[in-house]
Amino acid sequence: MQLYALGLNHHTAPLNIRERVAFQPERLDDALHDLTQARTVREAAILSTCNRTELYFATEQPQHAADWLARFHSLTLSEVSPYLYTYPQRDAVRHVFRVASGLDSMVIGEPQILGQVKDAARRAEEAGTMGTLLHKLFQNTFAVAKEVRSTTAIGANIVSMAAAAVHLAERIFERLSDQRVLFIGAGEMIELCAAHFAGAQPKHITVANRTESRALALAGRYGADVMRLDGIGDVLAQFDIIVSCTASPLPIVGLGMVERAVKARRHKPMVMVDLAVPRDIEKEVGELDDVFLYTVDDLAQVVDAGLESRQQAVIEAEEIINSRVDGFLHWMQGRDVVPTIRALRQHAEALRASELERARKLLARGEDPQKVLDALSHGLINKLMHAPTHFLNQSEGEQQADASRMLQQLFNLNSHD
């Protein structure tokens, strides 16, 4: 049974592929149960974000996971296989350590991914698909991410996706203080964007969300209005900047809706930022005049500018990760020898019990205790030494030399004595 990581991300797959294999939160439990149902995959966790879909699992046949991923999303394997990577044990451990530490993110060092990895682990544990291997893996993962963040400057002066969204809006509008902003959704990414845009003091902010209570909590922090999702089409023309990030499996803002808004605005520019995967805004909207549509991949070009200043921190973080990978694999190897250690102890215990029982019978017959103890010690030694001596005597040639070196090391013998 080996650990594997399988998936695709913003490095290997374009947005139109990533959105086709993204997991909706409400289907995640069913997906985990389905993945492990056939028992070819024993343990599993699924990480699905805007930038990646990854499976972490324990199995003897990793190809089953790739077949399942395609089948679950009603795709053929040939459609996704060009974008997939599969990491075997050592590489899989290193990969999840790097992901949680922010080294594999679109924004190097961004902190949100650690929370998303923790959520993936929690969902797997609640679904009952987290076994001993994955539990220990994620424990180590969180410890490594904490060490990287606390001992390196990986998160210093970070350029976030939210900050990049503000930067792109400022390219179009001279002053954000004159603009009206609509946030669609009220999740973590929208909260981050709201904080950044609020810092620019826009003219007005509105939050549209399916759950009113969460929208009210976010709106209350920034003096914003709240509206229902199904009313967006009627008021879209009132907004200059629209930022959307929901878990909807289908687009919320369609081409026709935006065409009507542009016409009502008399072709005044609109900035639309779609941070959702799958997309919240139909991609054809980006072809309209006077509409500037940006996706998560577009924002990557902005955040890359802050990468150079963090290169030294990345080098330090990689050193930490490589060291911790070795430590985790040592723990795994230790687990592999546990059955052998247990069998060896049981064998020794059986020999001890046999010799002890023989000594007790001799004492019961009135034999000299000193002679009985001497016989006990000699009998125990002879039985313990029988197997290694037989192994050495049965070896021949080079194999005998190897056996001799192994026994010397095993019993800490000095070959010169």
Residue 168 contacts residue 160 (beta carbons within 8 Å): no
Q: Whose structure tokens read 């009502």?
A: 264
Can 50 be counted among the known catalytic residues? yes
Task: Give the span between the Cα atoms of 253 and 189, in whole angstroms.
Answer: 18
Calpha distance 109→114 (Å, rounded): 10
Helices (H) then strands (E): counts for the chain: 16, 10
Burial of 157 (0-12, 13-18, 19+ CB in 10 A): exposed
Do strands 52-59 and 2-9 pair parallel, antiparallel, or not at all (unpaired)? antiparallel
State the DSSP H helix or E strand holding residue 295, giving kind and residue range, or none if neither. strand 291-295
Indicate the SS3 state at residue 87: strand
Among residues 32, 41, 50, 236, the one annotated as catalytic is: 50
Cα(134)–Cα(65) distance, integer angstroms: 16
Alpha helices in 105-224 (DSSP H): 112-127, 132-151, 161-172, 188-199, 212-222
Rounded CA gap, 287 and 199, in Å? 30
Bridge partners for 226 per DSSP: 207
270-274 vs 52-59, strand pairing mode: unpaired
Positions annotated as catalytic residues are: 50
